[in-house]
Amino acid sequence: MDFQLSADQLALQEMARDFFAGNGGIAGARAVLAGDGELPDVSADLRKLGLLGLLAESGDEAGTVLDLAVVAEQAGRTLTPTPLAGTAARAVPLLRDVATPPAAELLGRILDGAVRVAVADVREVELSADGTVSGVTGPAPGGTIAGTLIMPAWRADGAALVSVQVSSHAVAASRPALDPTRELATFELTSAPATVLATGEAATAAWERARDIAVVVLAAEDLGTTGECVRRAVEYAKDRTAFGRRIGSFQAVKHALVDAYVAEEQLRSLVWLAAWSADADPRNLPLYASAAAAYAAGAAERAAETLIQVHGGIGFTWEHDAHLFWRRAKVDRALLGDVHEHRARVARLQLAGVSA
């Protein structure tokens, strides 16, 4: 039994904390919401730090999903928009695992910084005999800044994994953002030329595994967001005075903060387990990933709502940063599957083990 971060992971955590502290997303999120600014772009830095391609290697050289989760937690504290969940945790292991020549070529260009990708969940995208795709994608994180989309598409003989260049045939629907830092976009595809990256069962297995890794890394970001909401709310409660006392001394306030903190610690345990299992116990990754995601949805939402509530009226203003955390929590609770889908999956996987 050794359920803790290693010395190397603690060093990585510190490095990531310092990096994201200097590249926070809050000011950018505010500017985008107001329509007069841009988000910070840390893609190139993350690539140079080796974090974008952490899961690109296999064998002894490979970084682990837990390493990536450690970094993602720190990104979640500052709401920095990153390609961690969409690219580092999803596109990279997906393309590595399918390992076909076009996938390897695309992976190489991602790691060179030549292209930005977004991975989209889709319900109905059709791959025609002429090699084009048509349909509508689901919301893809990083979609607003992507040059290439990766998605599954269906043709007569089954599903294929394809890449599509964003173009006049693959257009991001223009909509206001609830949380600008997720850079979400859905795409309308109209006979868009597609490259088939892989087909068959191996492609499906790689798709599902990469999606679960992304679910874990998203939950790790939510862990950081939860922790930062708790930290900010506690700081305010230590400082603000009412009725002649600091408000954190009132049990009604104190207990709300403790509830949020307990959820943070429980979530940390689940995120570590899920991230660890991705490499060490992959058979259980779907179960543990969904457990972490379902828990993260509630923990982040509770922490963000507590952050607003503890601040009183000021917490509800446009000027205060609390709503930026709240926006992240509300979007993440439905991203890559909502809490009900993840719970249903946990129930299904658990009950499948019981003989009827």
Partner 1 sequence: MDIEDSAEGAAFRGEVRAFVSARRDELSIGRGAAPERVPDLRRAQALLHSAGLVGVTWPVEYGGRGGTPVQKVIVEQELDRAEVPRLIGWIGVGMCGPAIMAHGTEEQKRRYLTPMLNADEVWCQLFSEPGAGSDLAALSTRAVRDGDGWRISGQKVWTTGAQWCDYGILLARTDPSKPKHRGLTMFLLDMRAPGLTVRPLREMTGAAVFNEVFLDDVPVPDSARLGEIDGGWAVALTVLMNERYSVGGDGTVYGAGPDALTRAVADALPGLGTDRRAEILQEYAACWIEGLACRMTGNRMLTALSEGREPGPEGSAGKLASSALLKRAADLGLCLQGDDALFGASAAGDGTWQGIATFAPGISLAGGTTEVMKNILGERVLGLPPEPRLDKAAAATGGKER
Residues near partner 1 (CB under 8 A): 1-6, 66, 230, 234, 237-238, 245-246, 248-251, 254-255, 257-259, 261-262, 265-267, 269-270, 272-273, 276, 280, 288, 291, 294-295, 340, 342-344, 346-348, 350-351, 353-354, 356
Closest approach, Cβ 244 to partner 1, in A, equals 9
Q: Which distant-in-sequence residues (6+ apart) come within 8 Å of 329 by Cβ?
A: 222, 225, 229, 300, 301, 303, 304, 305
Which residue, 172 or 273, is less far from partner 1 as judged by CB?
273
Q: How far is the CB of 49 from partner 1 (least distance, A)?
A: 22
Least gap, CB of 242 to partner 1 (angstroms)? 12
d(CA 198, CA 235): 51
10 Å Cβ neighbour count for 287?
A: 21
Other beta carbons within 10 angstroms of residue 355's beta carbon come to 4
Q: How many CA atoms lie within 13 A of 351 on its CB side?
A: 7
Tokens representing residue 301 in the block? 């939402």
CA atoms of 288 and 20, how far apart (whole Å): 27
CB of 342 to partner 1, least distance (A): 8
| Least distance from partner 1 to the Cβ atom of residue 16, Å | 17
* Contact between residue 86 and residue 68 where contact means Cβ atoms under 8 Å apart: no
Nearer to partner 1, 151 or 292 (CB): 292
Q: Residue 24 CB, nearest distance to partner 1 (Å)?
A: 23
- Select 106 or 257, whichever has its Cβ closest to partner 1: 257
Instruction: Please say which residue, 9 or 100, places its beta carbon nearer to partner 1.
Output: 9
Taking the least distance from each CB to partner 1, the nearer of 34 and 354 is: 354
Of 105 and 239, the one with the shorter C-beta distance to partner 1 is 239
Q: Are 186 and 143 in contact (CB under 8 A)?
A: yes
